[in-house]
Structures are given as C-alpha cells and as structure tokens.
C-alpha cells in the first residue's frame, strides 16, 4: 500500500447487523450511522416515500401488546420533539416494568419543513407494527427520516453520537478475533453484564484514552478494556469505541471473548481476567506493498527508531510514544509504539521489544508496517500518520 493507497474513504455500506434488514436497494446505501443521497432530480424539501427499509431485533418481548403501546407512546413523543427542534432530532427514554427502560430516537433530514418532518416521522411510527411487532428493537429508515427503538441504552449511544462518527463511519476494522469458542446465552446474565461493560467503557475510556473494567461475578463475570491511540481526541476516541462495541457484537455474536482493532482504538473483552498479562495470542501484521531501494539500511533505521520509541513508551504515563528519524534525501521515517495501560512498565517494554523482533517476518524492506497485538502495537511509515 502506498501512502495514497492507505488513505481510507468513507464507504457507503449496506446495513450490517445481527438484526435483519427486510429491504435494501442496490442503488442507494444507508450506512449504520450516516445517510448519503444524490439524484439528477431535485428532491430538497420533499418527503422521500420511495427509499425505505426496515430492521428489527429477532428476539420478541413477553408482552407484545403492552410493549407496542409503550413504543408508540415514546416515539410519538420524540416525533413531536424532533420536528420542533432546530436540528430535527430527538432522543429519549421511557420506564418499563421491573426497572427496565425503552430508548428511542427520531430524526429528519434538515431540508424538510417542520410540518413535513412531523408527517414523515408519523408515517414511520405507523409502519412499525408491520415489521417490528413485539420485537425488542427496530428501525424504520427512509430517505427523509429515520426512527429507532431499543431496550438497550448502548444501542442508543451509538445513534445519539452519530455526528461524532462521521470521521470513521463506514471504515472497516483493521482486524478482529472471536477469541473464545464458548458461547453465552442470549438475554442471560453474561450478556447483560457485557452490555453494562460496553456502556461503561464508552463513558469512562475517552477522557484518558484508556479504561479497563469488570462486571458480574463467577462464571458471569465479563472483563474488558478499551484503548485509544495516544494522539486521538476525546471525541474521536468516543466515536471509535462506539463503533467498535457495535461491530464486534455483529462479528462475534454470543462469543464470551472477542477483540477488535481500528486505526483509532482497540476494544477487548473476555470471561477470563486478562488484566496485567501480555497477550501473545491475538496478533496480526500489516505492511505496505512497496519495497525500499536499500532494505538493509532501512530495516536498521526502522529498528533504531522503534526501539527508541519503545524505551520512551514504557516510561510514559500513557505508555505511548511517537517520533521520527531522518533518512537520506530529506526523507523521514515516522514511528509509533503503544501498550495497553493494564500492563506494568516492564511488561510493556517486553511486549514492544517482542513486536519489534517480529518485523522481519512481515515487513522486511517494506515502506511501512505494523505489528498489532492485544497488549501493544508498533507502526512505522515514510509519511506522517498521527495527529499533530
């Protein structure tokens, strides 16, 4: 991959979810987070009744009649709030029985008038029984508005921060592993604890770029951590954790342990307490396809830079370091090293040194490369790749 080839554009994807997309179109794509639309016909200010699809949670509630009434009550209320809002957007919640809550979202494209927004949302509410009757969650997504309900607050976090995700929405994860063959029971205690942990990491990790935590006890205990790249802002960190917590549940449904990496963050959870232990199991490599003209000299420079950065990282509070090194003909080599902060300083150094020793296996003479693991990662490129 050359520098130009490694730049990732926001892609337009068909919806990917553990839930079911009832209808999609090949000509128009609705991303999980954003809507993009174009036409040779001017459509501004007109309600789009043509482009629409539905999604729902495949699990049903115990009392669909009562639940449907509550859904309608909440979404009607949010519809009234959204069309009266300057941004045509509203979220909210409603208390159910046994301390449970129902969460909802309503939004219109801002080319609509307030009245047309209200009309569009009311139409969406009226269509819910046809596709989402008695379901634990559902969406009606159209070209002019979308409406969403769920019993899980973490799903609402994902949608409420949609505007934060535009920098990463649509980008694919670097890699992921479903780390355990053990499965948890749908709607069981382990899944409840996992949902709570995801919500906690979403809130707690962004201010410092890292957080670990455990929820539950004995066989139902879930342990997890979230780590954002050291140069990433609080806003982008939050957006990446939101995206990763949603995506890993789609890719590893019912798995008791999983890990996923993005450019900006890492998210990992397991039924086994792994804190403070170097993860030798979850690892992958990435490299630039282009070769340098003098691999021996370049490899030496790469090792020199990353070894120096490893020394800086394990002594740093954030266990993170970046730097550069002069090459020939005014070119520079850029590098990054980082550890998860559950490790001791000595284990961080050991993890980074081990990663550097693996570079010849993947990246010998390559213009760029990464060794990415569950406890640390290293990267080098011949162009700047971190935020200034």
| d(C-alpha 260, C-alpha 367), whole Å | 25
In-domain check, residue 388? no
- The model's pTM is 0.59
Q: Does residue 150 share a domain with residue 54?
A: yes
In-domain check, residue 287? yes
| Window from 56-70, 144-158, 169-183 with minimum mean pLDDT | 144-158
Highest mean pLDDT among 155-169, 171-185, 307-321: 307-321
Whether 97 has a pLDDT exceeding 80, the answer reads no
**pLDDT classification of 22: cutoffs 50, 70, 90:** very low
Q: Which of 110, 132, 167 is the last residue of a domain?
A: 167
pLDDT at 266 (0 to 100): 97
Q: Does residue 151 share a domain with residue 15?
A: yes
CB 249 within 8 A of CB 323: no
**DSSP SS3 for 336:** strand
Q: Which of 135, 167, 199 is the last residue of a domain?
A: 167
pLDDT at 85 (0 to 100): 83
| d(C-alpha 86, C-alpha 181), whole Å | 48
Q: Does residue 41 share a domain with residue 142?
A: yes
For residue 295, the domain's CATH number is: 3.30.430.20
Q: Does residue 154 share a domain with residue 180?
A: no
Domain count, the chain: 3
320: left (phi over 0), alpha (psi -120 to 50) or beta: beta
Q: Which of 167, 189, 219 is the last residue of a domain?
A: 167
Q: Does residue 27 share a domain with residue 77?
A: yes
In-domain check, residue 142? yes
Whether 178 has a pLDDT exceeding 60, the answer reads yes
pLDDT at 38 (0 to 100): 86
Q: Does residue 132 share a domain with residue 253?
A: no
Q: Does residue 114 share a domain with residue 21?
A: yes
pLDDT in tens, 293-344: 999 999 999 999 999 999 999 999 999 999 999 998 778 999 999 999 999 9
In-domain check, residue 4? no
Average pLDDT, the chain: 83
**pLDDT classification of 274: cutoffs 50, 70, 90:** very high
Q: Does residue 162 share a domain with residue 111?
A: yes
To 5 degrees, how large is the angle CA 31–CA 209–CA 332?
Answer: 90
Which ranges in the chain belong to alpha helices (H)? 3-6, 64-83, 114-132, 153-160, 189-204, 234-251, 295-315, 345-357, 359-363
pLDDT in tens, 67-81: 889 999 999 999 999
Q: Which residue has the higher pLDDT, 144 or 152?
A: 144
In-domain check, residue 181? yes
CB 180 within 8 A of CB 270: yes
| Window from 32-46, 124-138, 143-157, 298-312 with minimum mean pLDDT | 143-157
Q: Which residue has the higher pLDDT, 119 or 157?
A: 119
pLDDT at 27 (0 to 100): 30
| d(C-alpha 380, C-alpha 287), whole Å | 9
In-domain check, residue 136? yes
User: Which residue, chain included where needed, has tokens 């920098």?
Assistant: 167
In-domain check, residue 386? no
Whether 170 has a pLDDT exceeding 70, the answer reads no
Q: Does residue 184 share a domain with residue 163?
A: no
Q: Does residue 30 share a domain with residue 127?
A: yes
**pLDDT classification of 53: cutoffs 50, 70, 90:** confident
Q: Which residue has the higher pLDDT, 133 or 219?
A: 219
Q: Does residue 66 share a domain with residue 42?
A: yes
Q: Does residue 161 share a domain with residue 50?
A: yes
Give 377's Cβ-side CA count (13 Å radius): 24
CB 306 within 8 A of CB 385: no
Dig out the tokens for 161 from the structure: 């921060």
Average pLDDT over residues 135-142: 84
Whether 159 has a pLDDT exceeding 80, the answer reads no
| Window from 7-11, 12-16, 180-184, 376-380 with minimum mean pLDDT | 7-11
Q: Provide the edge-to-edge strand list for the sheet that holds 210-215.
A: 175-177, 258-261, 265-270, 222-228, 210-215
| d(C-alpha 80, C-alpha 24), whole Å | 28
pLDDT at 9 (0 to 100): 25
pLDDT at 153 (0 to 100): 52
In-domain check, residue 21? yes
The boundaries of the domain holding residue 338 are: 283-381
């Amino acid at each position: 991959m050359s520098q130009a080839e490694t730049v990732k554009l926001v892609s337009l994807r068909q919806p990917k979810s553990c839930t079911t997309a009832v209808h999609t179109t090949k000509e128009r794509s609705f991303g999980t987070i954003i809507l993009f639309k174009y036409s040779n016909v001017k459509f501004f200010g007109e309600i789009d009744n043509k482009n629409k699809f539905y999604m729902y949670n495949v699990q049903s509630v115990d009392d669909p009649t009562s639940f449907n009434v509550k859904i309608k009550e909440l979404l009607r209320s949010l519809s009234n709030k959204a069309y009266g809002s300057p941004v045509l957007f509203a979220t909210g919640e409603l208390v159910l029985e046994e301390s449970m809550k129902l969460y909802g979202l309503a939004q219109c494209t801002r080319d609509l008038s307030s009245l047309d927004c209200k009309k569009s949302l009311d139409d969406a509410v009226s269509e819910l029984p046809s596709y989402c009757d008695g379901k634990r969650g559902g969406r009606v997504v159209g070209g002019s508005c979308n409406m969403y309900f769920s019993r899980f607050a973490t799903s609402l976090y994902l949608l409420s921060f949609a505007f934060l995700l535009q920098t990463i929405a649509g980008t694919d994860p670097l890699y992921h592993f479903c780390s355990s063959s053990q499965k948890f029971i749908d709607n069981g205690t382990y899944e409840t604890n996992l949902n709570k942990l995801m919500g906690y990491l979403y809130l707690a990790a962004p201010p410092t770029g890292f957080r670990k935590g455990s929820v539950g006890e004995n066989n139902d205990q879930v342990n997890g951590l979230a780590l954002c790249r050291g140069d990433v802002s609080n806003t982008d960190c939050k957006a990446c954790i939101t995206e990763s917590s949603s995506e890993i549940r789609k890719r590893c449904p019912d798995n008791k342990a999983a890990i996923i990496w993005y450019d900006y963050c890492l998210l990992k959870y397991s039924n086994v307490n792994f804190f403070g232990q170097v993860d030798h199991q979850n690892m992958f490599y990435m490299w630039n396809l282009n070769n340098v003209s003098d691999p021996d000299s370049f490899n030496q420079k790469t090792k020199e830079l990353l070894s120096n950065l490893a020394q800086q990282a394990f002594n740093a509070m954030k266990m993170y370091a970046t730097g550069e090194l002069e090459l020939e003909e005014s070119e520079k080599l850029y590098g990054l090293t980082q550890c998860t902060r559950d490790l001791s300083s000595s284990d961080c150094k050991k993890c980074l040194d081990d990663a550097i020793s693996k570079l010849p296996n993947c990246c010998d003479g390559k213009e760029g490369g990464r060794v990415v693991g569950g406890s640390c990662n290293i990267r080098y490129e011949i162009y700047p790749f971190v935020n200034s």
